[in-house]
Structure 1
Amino acid sequence: MTTSPYTIIGTPFSTFTRSITLALTYKGLPFNQVRCVPHSDTAYDNHPFGFLPTLVIHEIDGKPVNLKLRESPAIARFIDRVAPEPSLLITPGHGKALIEEQMWEFVSLASAHGLPAVEKGVVKPRVAATDAGNLTDSEIREQIKPGVEHLQKFLHQMEELMADDGYVFGSKLSWADFFLFPLLADLKATPEGELLSPRLLKWMEEMNKLEAVQVTTPGTLSVGARPP
């Protein structure tokens, strides 16, 4: 029998998995973690398409259910409902937000466009080429040049949506920070981290002060880890 009410299915190396474990840790919700990569047998056992993460909810109102909740936006909403404080939501006036839905807009942009721009276009091919050891740094840079150009556009557009200082929405930590941070933490661990602007670097410094960030760092690229 589980000792925690929740189990997260996913490797710490997974950016979306880390977004969720950041929130669980920040809100003080105890959980177990089953480390697996996407499209593994364990991933398919818990997600119909083998993606990460899945949150297994072991009980609801004291009754055992072992409900598998898939997809990060749905998991985020569940976490907010069962643990509304400390809040990861914003209100109008936080940063550049005129309406609270702009936070979820940022989350969607970071998720849908950040993963291909950061991970698929730059980080993963950089790490694979470096680990293979067959190419020089100059050759790797030439190989990923199209991805780097696309990444630069992504970083610029996301920074334009951020407050001038503090977190994504100024003084208010939110889901926007937890969805963008794992991507840029991976990027910073590669030579292409040089693309990060002073504003983004300052934001990352603030994020790195959070206990939730420190707790969820082991097993990530930023400390030299690789997928299990």
Structure 2
Amino acid sequence: MPSYTIVGTPFSTFTRSITLGLQHKDIPYKQVATTPHSDVAYKNHPFGMLPTLIIHGIGNSDIYLCESQAIARYIDRVAPLPSLDLEPGEAGIAVPEKMWEFVSLAGSQGFPAVEIKVVKHRVQAIDDGKPSDAELREHIKHGVANLKLFLARMEALMAPEGYVYGWKVTWADFFLFPLLSDLKATPEGEILSPRMLKWLAIMEELKAVKDTTAGTLSVGGRP
């Protein structure tokens, strides 16, 4: 049986999406905490990004699997149960690729909207002690406006209750949760809707979430 090492700081939202899946499927792994563009990151990823899943024990050398969606699909293939995917017709979707569409949107649209344009500015201000709250809010006001649009559009794709697709947790939840958990940990979390707050509360009860909380922004972690 292969063994696994995940390369990436627990602070990384993409890394956490993968460790959430590994925890949910009860797949043992070691974690090498490193930041993007570090020497360790470049050793394992051609562009120095996070995460990389190192697969030990297949063939004569380790396999380095990059990009979170590729890693998620590998995990699903080698450990199909408990399922984090959807079957056609399940949760009211016509094709299971709609779930992966949501995952892709969370990454391609959500990471810039949440992290780059809002959360990272807030964390930097907290760590530096400047600018003032009022100055920061003015600086990121356009980012917050864009973030509100992102949240509204993603919420429109979600079921009215439960997880993203109702009462079955999927990769869609595991890719969105790290982003909104970070947002909730900042004053800008005040823009989260009642639906998103209820969803976050449901997610926070999952064992996989509790087991991947250490080192994240929600508990004061830093890269």
Give the TM-score normalised by the residue count of structure 1: 0.95
Letter in 2 for 1:218: A
Q: Output the CA distance in 2 between the equivalents of 1:137 and 1:97.
A: 43
Name structure 2 gaps, 5 residues minimum: none
Query: What is the CA distance between 1:95 and its match in structure 2?
Result: 3.6
Q: Output the CA distance in 1 between the equivalents of 2:151 and 2:88.
A: 24
1:195 alignment counterpart: 191
SS of the aligned residue for 2:86 comes to coil
SS of the aligned residue for 2:109 comes to helix
Q: How does 1:69-88 map to 2 (within 5 A)?
A: 69-88=65-84
Query: What is the CA distance between 1:103 and its match in structure 2?
Result: 0.0
Q: Output the CA distance in 2 between the equivalents of 1:204 and 1:131.
A: 26
Large movers: runs of 4+ above 4 Å: none
SS of the aligned residue for 2:174 comes to helix
- Residue 149 (structure 1) aligned with residue 145 (structure 2): yes
CA contact (8 A) 1:43 1:50 kept: yes
Q: Output the CA distance in 2 between the equivalents of 1:78 and 1:138.
A: 45
Q: Output the CA distance in 2 between the equivalents of 1:75 and 1:132.
A: 35
CA contact (8 A) 1:107 1:175 kept: yes
Identity across the alignment (%): 63
Letter in 2 for 1:45: K
SS of the aligned residue for 1:8 comes to strand
Q: Output the CA distance in 2 between the equivalents of 1:141 and 1:45.
A: 38
Q: Output the CA distance in 2 between the equivalents of 1:151 and 1:96.
A: 27
Query: What is the CA distance between 1:140 and its match in structure 2?
Result: 1.1
- Residue 160 (structure 1) aligned with residue 156 (structure 2): yes
- Residue 17 (structure 1) aligned with residue 27 (structure 2): no
Q: How does 1:1-228 map to 2 (within 5 A)?
A: 5-60=3-58, 63-227=59-223
Q: Output the CA distance in 1 between the equivalents of 2:22 and 2:78.
A: 11
Name structure 1 gaps, 5 residues minimum: none
CA contact (8 A) 1:20 1:72 kept: yes
